[in-house]
Chains A and B, each alone.
Chain A
Amino acid sequence: MKIFLKKAILTGCFLGSLNAPMLHAIRLMHANVDASSAEHATFAQPIACTLFSSSGNLYTGTAQQGAQHYALSRGRLETRALHPIAGQYALLTQFPSIDKNAKKGDKEAEEKRKQEQRTANPLFDAAIAHIALVNPQSEAPVVVLKDEPHNLYFFDKYPQDGAHFIHKIESVRDASGTGIAGIMGLATTKNQTPVFIFASVKPAQGVCGDAGTGIAVMRVRENKVTEEIPDDKGAMKKVERTYISFAQACGKVGTYTQENPPIACAAALDRSSTCVKIGGDLAALNAVAMTYDTMLSRLYIAVTGQAGTQHQDGMCAIVVGQLVKDADGQMLLRPFAPDLFTQSHGNEIIGAKGASSCVSIHQLETLHTSTLLPYLIVLGGNGDAQSTKRTVYALPLVDKRNDQKLRVGFDAECGTLAAKDAVPRELFSDKEHQLATRVFEKQATTAADIYTTELSCSNAPAHVGGGPLPYGDITRVYVKHDGVYALVTTADPGKTAGVFFSQALFDAVGVVKGWTTWRRVAGVYYGVSDMFMHDISGDAMFVVNDGNNQMTNVVRTEWGTGYAAGIGPLVQVLNTLYSPENGGIHGLYTSPASKHGLHDIDVMIALGAHGLTLAQTGIGSGAFMRPLRGAEVINQPVVCSDGALTSFQPTRLLTITGGVLHELGPLVTAEIACSSDTNDGYLCVGGVGGVAVMRRPNGTGWNTQSGLGDYLVGLDTTMAFERLGNYRFVRRLVNDGAYLYVLTATELDRYEVTDLTLPPVRLASIQENPWAPKFDRFFDVVVSDDLVLLATTRGLYRTSDGVCAADVSAMREGAWTLVQLPNYDGAVLQLYACSATGSACDVARGPGGMVYALAGHRGRDYSRVYRLAIGSVETIGVAADTVAVMHDKKHESTLSSFVPFGKFCDHFATDGVIRMRTRNKDMHAQAHVMTSAISRLPLPLEEAATISALERSTASGVWLVAGDFGLLVNE
């Protein structure tokens, strides 16, 4: 083992020394900086704006001249390069004119004619201000140049001879129909037809918010014309050609006639607009952000502004735009919420009332949850622009329908703010009676109907991340499925920038009841301005800075052994230590610094056949936690044999083998158990041969007041692993409160951590017992306060109503209650808990959480995942509704599983964005990880037989896949 470790460390250090600069080894996408260049950047010029399409294409625009044809670039996750699309030439007209007298086959003349049609591309070597995208069939960028902020360029979908047709709208008009000073933002109807482009414009005279400010609507149409062209024999033939027209519409709603024709102008949105002001005109109205929701067909417009100076003045910072049906671009602007704001409170999220009160919404995104409910994700809130850049809120949206499931008569309410106590209504398809969608119908009409900025349980559903992001100002919010990513470009002093993530937690009917607290993900440790997450491959793409606050780089994550400046060296060490011959890594345990027993460090424990490796993966507490990277982790490794720390020295990488651990065989589970009474912390491990606890001869562990700290301070040379009890086939160890729970295949025991020498209390057993259900075998357990969830061959059991974990006993009648899963009475194989804090032990605390229960039968080759909404038991204990099967439905009449898998799978893990499931090697395939019915993660698992763990590193947030191949990461 020692030799292996030395070899592993050498390998890791070597890699580390090769890649001293932070970005050297990162998966850099390449554009106009040569890959072999020492510069290590994607672009030589800073990136001004970026846009990820829904299919994963990245469009970038450079901030300054010099990029030439790379001024506008496009790239994909798979290609690992960005390609220029701002060529030197563009075509003048959509179709070159046809010279009917031209001789057929005269290629020279033809080429000459084409050249004459070309003109200098205005985008070539330009600085780009804004990019948007329309993609009814293929993606077509819409661009605003920095030097021409009043013009709009639109790429035709069909390039010819390598040159794009570029349409141009010169002098976009403002709300008064005159020219503008500039375009402040863009949005489009995306893949919806008819295609419209929305531009927030500021008037030529004055500033943003003055009269003339508004939303310009540009329509994109496909027109068909019949032309005559010569055929092969020189005769003229008629052909139908499609060309695109691109023009600004009349955005103002009105009745137009021939005498009063519509003129191109923007829909007015200025300080005096009733959709944004309450009482008197706003004192200020600034930057405008927009997003269009294709499912609701609504344009959401966010503003930052200040109310008028009168006491009764106020503002609503979100406006809902609706294109009037068949009105060719006329747009109705309505307030997102009616005047329900209270004076002087200053805690309403999207509006305020009071003299000079400020509301600042910086960005909007819509979120359609996996429970089919719509939410508006808002970056900003009540306050000035500077103080609101760390808060992200989720607000429910109204989608009221009549009985025919149409919005007839309820159009005005669609997309507005729903009341926080709105109960969703389920809508089913007429023929198949399948669940089509869920809608909120109750509109927020009073102050009591809305969430506020106050951090309380009642407002938890609105506070994404559980509150403000503590790391720094959020540059951008990225929304995918049930997850919200907050991107930080510049962190607070002493903190590390990156990408932070929060997942929605649902109640039984699918309404968001809370959010997980912000946690770092994706192993990104530098400023990020935009990102795209591919939910099938698990890879992500980021626009990041170069360390000098210049956004010049585009990077991507990749499945593999990590990169040298990240977790790579640690992975190399572990993969050398835990070879496939010995089964590789049999279990993985990660724990954040917030875990009781850890003192400002994050740890990861890799469990092998007869030993384990304890690695410190992070340092610091709270927002100051910093992931350890590169050689930081593997410096000064220590190997202790005989299951004792005899040769222990302060280290960040401790490997313990032999002794009792050898007797335990393959180790599969670990836990850090702490006693609040004695302040002792213990490292407990379990395997085939039983449970062992690391402690001193006198029974004490490390002092949790000071340890386990940096360099594993707290451990000492007197500590050694000792057996605990007499177990076989341990499945899980859980520490919750004062207890250590030991789950084996045949029993569930509870120890008091304060004195582990005391005999355990047996909570459940497969022994025949007239008072207890017949279990057969146990698979998994989740313990949270009074709630114990037990996955068995006979289904899922919970502690019965009124029974608490401290009292529950197998000998007591009615201690366990079966949780009836819809249409299923077989075995539950795995429980995957999701709580606000990220700890499974908190799933029944605070706002509660969710548990994913993996069920299925290997013999019939199927699996399914059920979702359980877990209520809080902190105040009332376990009750009938504490564990509720979520209303996942396929058909009207019955509940169903959340995800039915066609094939059996061994493990399931999700963060609300990616749903990963593993299948070990069988007669037909090697071990693999799937994210959909047909998609496998691109992992190098050619020789793999077993996948033992799917975990997320608590320090860096990268996904970890462990098995007999060792460890693989997405970094």
Chain B
Amino acid sequence: MISIRNIVINGAITLVLSGMMHDMRAMSLVNFSQVYYRQALDLTRRTNVAVVVEGGFDAKGFDAHSDCVNVLQLYNPSQSSLAMLKGFDESSPQGALFTLLDAEDDGVRGRFAVTGTLHSIINGALITRVGIRHGFMFGVYVPFFHAQLSDVCWRDLTKQTTVQDQRVREELTNNFCANSAEFDENLALCTGWDRTGLGDITGLMEWQHDFPQAKPVLKIVQINTRLGLTLPTGLKSDSNKLYAFPFGNDGATGLLFGGCLGLNFMHRLWAGVDVELTHLFDNTSVRRIKVDPDQTDFLLLAKACVHNNWGMIQRFNLYLSADPIIAGLSCSFYYQFLKQGRVDLVVSTNDYDSVVANTAEYLKESVSHTAILRARYDFGVHLDEETRIKPSLSLFARIPFKGRRSVVWSSCGAMFDIAF
């Protein structure tokens, strides 16, 4: 999901670019996590239109122990091709192959170290916001996204010591891509992908009000509240491709609500805290699920219709902003904590066990910590008061520094905003 919004905080627009959810439950932690842009906004202006573009680089993963790993190792350090065959009937092709292999995954046998490169990460959004009256505003955010996964490498870790090792190599891992495709011809585990598409469109209603303070240091207390809806317009996950995450909430509609408390000191320094919670409504989808607790998250052969009970997305932001530093120029620093609650699946068929399906690592909660720097220049200071159009430009950089079960990347971007 990409949702970008402008929020009026003390005469500024905060543009929220929310993260992206995808099937593999790196979700918003594949770091389109939220970014705040603060933009000075003339409150007499009723309408803002903005374009934001952001390019990501240096994608990396954080595993369950918060260790930095390759993006394709965020859930499991290695993928088990033997466990992939578990949980099926003896008579099924998977069960038959497992029987004749007559070998157990001992932590090495049948294992692959999977690596890949996530790059060409570009996201952006078109934003429009209209001020109504009495501090109420309504905005629409239309995000888009592009990403590419390449250099996918499946390195066979199986030894050649025992007869079981050699049998597994000969019957399974030496030609793993073709062998796995035999179970599902659409399965493309060994190749990358290149995907472009819309994110989830968000509509957001806000209310904001400044409370002036007659104190020597504290000058303004600003309250912002908001309520919105995200629509499932984003590109959904592709379970046949390796880690092909969705560009939104993967078909789930979301209800967004939040609030912000901002404090202005000496008319030049802003500090505040912003909290935003997103509730995703349950939906039904066809997923690849675990049918045995030992299975690893990228090698799931069973597909089933499941009811998704999404966990809540929680975003917490602390910010500090100097506005203005000089005429028209402001700088801000944000710390963002983003947490995605675990997803519970209810399998809609009696063939598989929901308890087992819910042992998947990608369903568990994920966390990321990000630092954001932003500089904004308001060209309006050079224009007459009567000028109808006032543009501004923001440059920003996001630097994720910690996480758990999440893929993150650093990024730089720009936002051009026009106020009418």
Identify the A interface with B (CB < 8 A).
581-583, 586, 609, 665-666, 668, 687-688, 728-729, 745, 776-777, 779, 793, 825-827, 829, 857-861, 906, 919-924, 945-946, 948, 964
Known contacts: A858-B104, A859-B292, A922-B106. The answer to whether A826 contacts B90 by CB under 8 A is yes
Taking a contact as CB atoms under 8 Å apart, the answer to whether A860 and B90 are in contact is yes
Taking a contact as CB atoms under 8 Å apart, the answer to whether A922 and B99 are in contact is no
Taking a contact as CB atoms under 8 Å apart, the answer to whether B90 and A859 are in contact is yes
Taking a contact as CB atoms under 8 Å apart, the answer to whether B99 and A826 are in contact is yes
Q: Please name all residues of chain B whose beta carbon is closer than 8 Å to the beta carbon of A793 when the two chains form the complex.
A: 96, 99-100
| B99 to A, closest residue via Cβ | A827
Taking a contact as CB atoms under 8 Å apart, the answer to whether B89 and A860 are in contact is yes
Known contacts: A920-B106, A922-B105. The answer to whether A827 contacts B90 by CB under 8 A is yes
Kindly list 18 other residue pairs between chains A and B, CB separation below 8 angstroms, not including A776-B99, A923-B105. Answer: A581-B161, A666-B161, A666-B163, A668-B163, A728-B170, A776-B96, A779-B102, A858-B98, A859-B87, A859-B98, A859-B99, A860-B86, A860-B95, A906-B104, A920-B164, A922-B104, A948-B162, A964-B162
Taking a contact as CB atoms under 8 Å apart, the answer to whether A857 and B294 are in contact is no
Complex Cα–Cα for A922 and B110 (A)? 11
Max chain A CB contacts within 10 Å: which of B90, B107, B166?
B90
Taking a contact as CB atoms under 8 Å apart, the answer to whether B104 and A920 are in contact is yes
Taking a contact as CB atoms under 8 Å apart, the answer to whether A946 and B100 are in contact is no
Complex Cα–Cα for A858 and B103 (A)? 8
Interface size on B, residues (CB 8 A): 29
Max chain A CB contacts within 10 Å: which of B86, B95, B106, B292?
B106
Complex Cα–Cα for A179 and B26 (A)? 91
Taking a contact as CB atoms under 8 Å apart, the answer to whether B161 and A857 are in contact is no
Complex Cα–Cα for A948 and B91 (A)? 27
Known contacts: A859-B90, A859-B94, A923-B294. The answer to whether A777 contacts B100 by CB under 8 A is yes
The 3 closest A-B pairs by CB, nearest first: A777-B100, A826-B90, A583-B161
Q: Please name all residues of chain B whose beta carbon is closer than 8 Å to the beta carbon of A859 when the two chains form the complex.
A: 85-90, 94-95, 98-99, 292
Contact of A921 among B89, B91, B99, B106 (CB under 8 A): B106
Q: How far is the CB of B109 from chain A (nearest CB, A)?
A: 8
| A946 to B, closest residue via Cβ | B162
Complex Cα–Cα for A857 and B100 (A)? 10
Q: Please name all residues of chain B whose beta carbon is closer than 8 Å to the beta carbon of A745 when the two chains form the complex.
A: 100, 167
| A919 to B, closest residue via Cβ | B104
Max chain A CB contacts within 10 Å: which of B85, B87, B94, B162?
B162
Q: How far is the CB of A652 from chain B (nearest CB, A)?
A: 28
Taking a contact as CB atoms under 8 Å apart, the answer to whether B292 and A665 are in contact is no
Taking a contact as CB atoms under 8 Å apart, the answer to whether A829 and B161 are in contact is no
Complex Cα–Cα for A860 and B86 (A)? 7
Max chain B CB contacts within 10 Å: which of A583, A858, A945, A948?
A858
Complex Cα–Cα for A793 and B88 (A)? 15
24 A-B residue pairs with CB within 8 Å:
A583-B162, A586-B162, A668-B163, A687-B163, A688-B166, A688-B167, A728-B170, A729-B166, A745-B100, A776-B96, A857-B98, A859-B85, A859-B88, A859-B90, A920-B104, A920-B106, A921-B104, A922-B106, A922-B294, A923-B106, A923-B107, A923-B294, A924-B294, A946-B106
**B window 64-95: CB within 8 A of A:** 80, 83, 85-91, 94-95
Contact of A946 among B89, B164, B167 (CB under 8 A): B164
Taking a contact as CB atoms under 8 Å apart, the answer to whether B106 and A945 are in contact is yes
How many A-B residue contacts, CB cutoff 8 Å? 94
Q: Please name all residues of chain B whose beta carbon is closer than 8 Å to the beta carbon of A779 when the two chains form the complex.
A: 102
Taking a contact as CB atoms under 8 Å apart, the answer to whether A665 and B166 are in contact is yes
Max chain B CB contacts within 10 Å: which of A779, A827, A906, A919?
A827
Complex Cα–Cα for A858 and B96 (A)? 10
Complex Cα–Cα for A632 and B144 (A)? 81
Taking a contact as CB atoms under 8 Å apart, the answer to whether A582 and B89 are in contact is no
Q: Please name all residues of chain B whose beta carbon is closer than 8 Å to the beta carbon of A946 when the two chains form the complex.
A: 106, 162, 164
Complex Cα–Cα for A945 and B108 (A)? 10
Taking a contact as CB atoms under 8 Å apart, the answer to whether B87 and A860 are in contact is yes
Cβ contacts B161-190/A at 8 Å (1 or 0 each): 111101100100000000000000000000
Complex Cα–Cα for A823 and B104 (A)? 25
| A766 to B, closest residue via Cβ | B100
Known contacts: A666-B166, A920-B104, A923-B294. The answer to whether A858 contacts B161 by CB under 8 A is no
Q: How far is the CB of B10 from chain A (nearest CB, A)?
A: 55
Taking a contact as CB atoms under 8 Å apart, the answer to whether B96 and A666 are in contact is no
Q: How far is the CB of A611 from chain B (nearest CB, A)?
A: 14
Q: Please name all residues of chain A whose beta carbon is closer than 8 Å to the beta carbon of B96 when the two chains form the complex.
A: 776, 793
Q: How far is the CB of A820 from chain B (nearest CB, A)?
A: 15
Complex Cα–Cα for A323 and B89 (A)? 56
Complex Cα–Cα for A921 and B105 (A)? 8
Q: Please name all residues of chain A whose beta carbon is closer than 8 Å to the beta carbon of B102 when the two chains form the complex.
A: 779, 829, 858
Known contacts: A586-B162, A923-B294. The answer to whether A857 contacts B107 by CB under 8 A is no
Q: How far is the CB of A24 from chain B (nearest CB, A)?
A: 37
Complex Cα–Cα for A95 and B96 (A)? 70
Q: Please name all residues of chain B whose beta carbon is closer than 8 Å to the beta carbon of A924 when the two chains form the complex.
A: 294
Complex Cα–Cα for A688 and B164 (A)? 9
**B window 92-138: CB within 8 A of A:** 94-96, 98-100, 102, 104-107
Complex Cα–Cα for A920 and B98 (A)? 15
Taking a contact as CB atoms under 8 Å apart, the answer to whether B163 and A921 are in contact is no
Q: Please name all residues of chain A whose beta carbon is closer than 8 Å to the beta carbon of B98 when the two chains form the complex.
A: 857-859
Q: How far is the CB of A946 from chain B (nearest CB, A)?
A: 6
Q: How far is the CB of B61 from chain A (nearest CB, A)?
A: 21
Complex Cα–Cα for A855 and B95 (A)? 14
Taking a contact as CB atoms under 8 Å apart, the answer to whether B163 and A729 are in contact is yes
Complex Cα–Cα for A964 and B109 (A)? 14
| A857 to B, closest residue via Cβ | B90
| A776 to B, closest residue via Cβ | B100
Complex Cα–Cα for A923 and B76 (A)? 13
Complex Cα–Cα for A203 and B87 (A)? 72
Complex Cα–Cα for A745 and B97 (A)? 13
Taking a contact as CB atoms under 8 Å apart, the answer to whether A858 and B86 are in contact is yes
Q: Please name all residues of chain B whose beta carbon is closer than 8 Å to the beta carbon of A827 when the two chains form the complex.
A: 90, 99
